[in-house]
Amino acid sequence: MISPEPAHFPHAIIAPENLPGWDPRWSRLVDVETLDGTRTFHVLDNAAVLADHGYGPDDVDAIIVAVHGNPTWSYLWRNVAQAGVDAALGNLDLGPGAPKAPVIRVIAPDQLDMGFSERLTHDALPSAAGATTTYRTLAQRIRDLDALVATVLGASPTPPIFSLGHDWGGVVSLGWAADDQLRQAGSGLTPTGMISLNTAVWHDEADPIPAPLQAALAGPLLPGSTVATSAFLDTTLALGNPPLDRTIKTAYKAPYSLRSRRGGIGGFVADIPAQDSHRSRPALRRVADNLATTQTPALLLWGAKDPVFLDRYQLDLLQRIQHIDIHRYNTAGHLLAEDRDIVEPIFGWVRQQLDGAGATTPDPTATKGSGAVGTYSPLWGYLDRWAESSTKALVDMTVTDRGGKPFEVSWAKLAEIVNAMAIGLRKAGMRPGDRVSMLVEPGRDLTAALYAVLRVGGVAVVTDAGLGIEGMTRAIRSAAPSWIIGQTPGLTLARATNLPGKRLSVHTMDPLAHRALGLSGSMYRFATEYAGQRYQATETHPDPEPSAEAAVLFTSGSTGPAKGVRYTHQKLSALTQRLQHTLKVAPGSSLLAGFAPFALLGPAIGATSVTPKMSVTKPATLTATALADAAIAGDTTMIFASPAALHNVVDTAGELTAEHRKALEKISMLLSAGAPVPVQLMDDVLKLVPHAEFHSPYGMTESLLITDIDHHTQHAIANQPDRGVCVGKPLDVVRVAMAPLDFLGRPADELLEPGEAVGKLSEIVISTPHMLAGYDKLYNTNRQTRVDDVDALQWHRTGDIGHFDAAGRLWIEGRTYHIVTPPTGALGPGGPEDDIQRLPEVRRVAIVGVGPVGTQAVVAVVEPTDSTLKPGLAPTELTDAVRGATEVDIAAVLITDNVPVDIRHNSKINRPALAQWASQVLAGGKVTHR
């Protein structure tokens, strides 16, 4: 029965009102008839608080049954319980364009022998064999949960129920939700959806047990670390990332202050069925088998830095459950509910299930978009069409023969190499849909390997070396490739960091290196072994469908952690057609690309692809002579290079010979993107390529081409009052909408046409056939950025902010998380930065906000041209100059020795880091050089 009296915390060392974030009204004791008699459970239940606000059982949208793991208790779910109440009060925002948050009743029991639930009588200390029957087994815990839910909810109709679990509570909750036979015999309640944080439902006996559990399960150490001492509890609470506050740790320890109250911790560890002989192994197998057949949709939230529940357990769940969404937090760990805000994805996902959306992973078959798109053509289409042509397809200046002549390959030879490599990959076991991490420098090797992977149906995972070792490793682990194709540096990284995937080298290596790097073969050995053979699709290995996933391209990470951007073959086909149109590619065109994505797409658009001698991860290494040498070797007609690369080309132009200059005069098209291109830079470059059209398209990894502006337009708008960076008008197949920002910088739910949003600071929203299919393993990011069924189109919220002018040109003013909110209303940093940047005293500037949202002080952080100025408050003369350069009210001007920018583009400013530093300085903190 349910206790009619307000529940209390038996044996608590602190009062419930002193538990941070805990409402004492949630606490209740429930007597439940279990298989071994009546047991008393302590239960978190926010129903009483919802009732206080007028929400009875019929007014609740959904119920979440949440199960904690070991050694936590229902305190783990306090934020979810509070969110259910906040939704009732209208205080829970699920993001721009999202429907109203559901009102959710949260029922979170403390499992028996855990938290403040009844303690069991133990006749012995726990053992790794799990033979002591007084400890609760997995099967018993699943039945306990079913009996408790039936007791709390009774026989009356209920709103939809969702399970939620973490750690070994994840196994219990998933086991309960997926067990149809149990429900028929027990409560009869059928969950609408399953949600789980880090957990595991199957462990192969041959796999090593995660290190933290090995110690706890090590025979005589088990009772000592789990019951006799608080070592296991302390170790778990130390896994917070960032570290848990002391008061939070104290709250988690409250039920386990005495040895006599920690028996359940040891029993839970003892019940881990790591071996086939373990008594709970059959129950675990039942859970795993039921999940493989259930049609119930699931949401998985995963902290990637968990030392216990490793990625192999995540992959098992993704492969096992048919309808599953996932959001992976690459820098969070085991205590995900403490590390990150899990409320928004949980409530957003529940809302979508209630609205009938089902599993909401972006559909890779979706090709909705605006504008016309030509007939689908796979990226290797030109290789098939021009397989007999002797004209040049690739020129790679980074590879030369003994005489110094650059590497060249004809269309026929490239087609032969790609065909042979694809045959070799298929014979080596690569199957359609297999993910392949491409750890190869851009150039001939990456081009050949990439097209072979796509030809065989593999999914190319591309990570920019500019992410650094840690960033690349994190991105690759997130993508979970089955294969790695690399050169020596990439393969060494894969070996040293134990990256997943069967490894292939590009070039054939000697036996010692082959063994040391753990290789299974090489791409050029395939090219030799299967030379002259034509790749043909088979019944068992067909060509990939247009809707099939083709690539996962990781963003630069300059505006937050790198995200995997998913493209289908259809999306890439649309992109290549847009490139052909924008670049005016005709037979005989030659593209010199100092920008990796476009270098790789050369063969797909039918242009000779020329790779200049430079470091692709450091664009500023492109010199004028390297550019001209490549133009000569490739008979180049088009150039694509970043602004950082072009800056260095201009700076080194004095080294050009007459022959160099003559070659550059043949360039008819020049494009530069990835960062704003100053008009002066355009002017300087055009002195070197005087017959070229200079265009600066705006795009991003999510959609490489969105708008375009040419050199003449840049000059025409030089004296226009608009501020920010003008990126021109949308391309013909692109639709742009605007979500105006409110006073606090929040984008509106309703999208406006450009003509309706002239001069209004807004988030930029796009729809085009060549934009991303979705983000990889980032359910909540997909939910936040995708807008469906507006004019029957799929839209993407870019996170960029700006405005349209009266002529229909788009101006960029920053990112949504760069918005400053002074009392005068939301402000994009790009405008005042554009004003201040023109001062000769300023090398670089960032505008940031300091203080509470809505009342922030606008601060200009300046990197001066005078290197003798010390970090801290700027001198009066510079302060006055900065304030006089813009109409924005600048509260303070600070000097820094370095405005942090991403190394890839040398332009994208890390404003959040500067805002934190500025707050520290203005609060009287120590001024440090970063």
CA distances to 30, 44, 110, 372, 890 from 17, rounded to whole Å, are: 20, 14, 18, 62, 44
- The conformation of residue 822, written as its DSSP 8-state character, comes to -
Residues 246 and 179 in one domain: yes
* 795 is a domain residue: yes
pLDDT at residue 407 is higher than 60? yes
CB contact burial 385-396 (16+ within 10 A = b; e otherwise)? ebbebeebbbbb
* 391 is a domain residue: no
Calpha distance 30→21 (Å, rounded): 22
Residues 146 and 48 in one domain: yes
Residues 750 and 826 in one domain: no
pLDDT score of 365 = 34
Cis peptide before 442 (omega within 30 of 0): no
pLDDT at residue 364 is higher than 60? no
* 541 is a domain residue: no
The pTM assigned to this predicted structure is: 0.91
Q: Give the model's confidence band at 13: pLDDT under 50 very low, under 70 low, under 90 confident, else very high.
A: very low
Structural domain boundaries enclosing 752: 705-814
CATH number of residue 726's parent domain: 2.30.38.10
The residue among 109, 65, 55, 58 whose CA lies nearest residue 87 is: 55
Q: What is the pLDDT of residues 735-766, one digit of tens each?
A: 999 999 999 999 998 899 999 999 999 999 99
Looking at per-residue confidence, does 376 or 676 come out higher? 376
The 3-state DSSP class for residue 321 equals: coil
Average of per-residue pLDDT values in the chain: 89
- The conformation of residue 340, written as its DSSP 8-state character, comes to S
pLDDT score of 374 = 65
Number of Cβ atoms within 10 Å of the Cβ of 293: 11
Residues 95 and 230 in one domain: yes
Calculate what percentage of the chain has a pLDDT beyond 90. 69
Residues 156 and 301 in one domain: yes
pLDDT score of 372 = 45
Residues 801 and 831 in one domain: no
In the structure encoding, which two tokens stand for residue 213, read together? 């559990």
- The conformation of residue 901, written as its DSSP 8-state character, comes to B
Q: What is the pLDDT of residues 601-633, one digit of tens each?
A: 888 888 899 989 887 667 788 999 999 999 999
Mean pLDDT of 640-658: 93
pLDDT score of 204 = 79
Show which of 814, 846, 861 is a domain's final residue.
814
The residue among 286, 94, 257, 262 whose CA lies nearest residue 172 is: 286
* 625 is a domain residue: no
3-state secondary structure 172-237: HHHHHHCCHHHHHHCCCCCCCEEEECCCCCCCCCCCCCCHHHHHHCCCCHHHHHHHHCCHHHHHHH
pLDDT score of 188 = 77
In the structure encoding, which two tokens stand for residue 565, read together? 């951007």
Q: Which residue is listed with tokens 């300091």?
A: 850
Q: Give the model's confidence band at 218: pLDDT under 50 very low, under 70 low, under 90 confident, else very high.
A: low
Q: What is the pLDDT of residues 90-130, one digit of tens each?
A: 999 998 888 899 999 999 999 999 999 999 887 666 665 54
Q: What is the pLDDT of residues 549-583, one digit of tens each?
A: 999 999 876 666 789 999 999 999 999 999 888 88
Q: Give the model's confidence band at 670: pLDDT under 50 very low, under 70 low, under 90 confident, else very high.
A: very high
Residues 757 and 878 in one domain: no
Q: Give the model's confidence band at 6: pLDDT under 50 very low, under 70 low, under 90 confident, else very high.
A: very low
Beta bridge partners of 858: 849
Calpha distance 323→302 (Å, rounded): 16
In the chain, the number of structural domains is 3
Mean pLDDT of 719-741: 92
The 3-state DSSP class for residue 63 equals: strand
In the structure encoding, which two tokens stand for residue 594, read together? 């100092």
Show which of 814, 842, 857 is a domain's final residue.
814
Q: Which residue is listed with tokens 């039918």?
A: 606
Beta bridge partners of 460: 436, 551
pLDDT score of 367 = 40
Looking at per-residue confidence, does 274 or 310 come out higher? 310
Show which of 335, 354, 373 is a domain's final residue.
354
* 864 is a domain residue: yes
Helices (H) and strands (E) counted in the chain, each on its own, are 32, 35
Residues 778 and 833 in one domain: no
Q: What is the pLDDT of residues 481-523, one digit of tens each?
A: 999 999 999 999 999 999 999 999 999 999 999 999 999 999 9
Residues 205 and 253 in one domain: yes
Residues 760 and 909 in one domain: no
Q: What is the pLDDT of residues 365-405, one digit of tens each?
A: 344 434 445 689 999 988 988 888 999 999 999 888 777 78
* 367 is a domain residue: no
Calpha distance 847→287 (Å, rounded): 54
Q: What sign does the CA torsion over 495, 499, 500, 505 have?
A: negative
Range scoring the smallest mean pLDDT among 89-93, 180-184, 263-267, 322-326: 180-184
pLDDT score of 487 = 95
CATH number of residue 37's parent domain: 3.40.50.1820
The 3-state DSSP class for residue 628 equals: helix
CATH number of residue 885's parent domain: 3.30.300.30
CA distances to 505, 507, 653 from 510, rounded to whole Å, are: 11, 10, 42
Continuous H helices in 587-737: 596-601, 624-634, 643-651, 658-664, 679-686, 711-716
Mean pLDDT of 208-227: 70
Spell out the residues 6+ positions from residue 297 whose beta carbon is closer than 8 angstroms to its own. 193, 194, 323, 324, 325, 353, 358, 359
pLDDT score of 791 = 67
* 525 is a domain residue: no
- The conformation of residue 747, written as its DSSP 8-state character, comes to B
Calpha distance 695→596 (Å, rounded): 18
Residues 151 and 254 in one domain: yes
Residues 64 and 33 in one domain: yes
* 624 is a domain residue: no
pLDDT at residue 12 is higher than 50? no
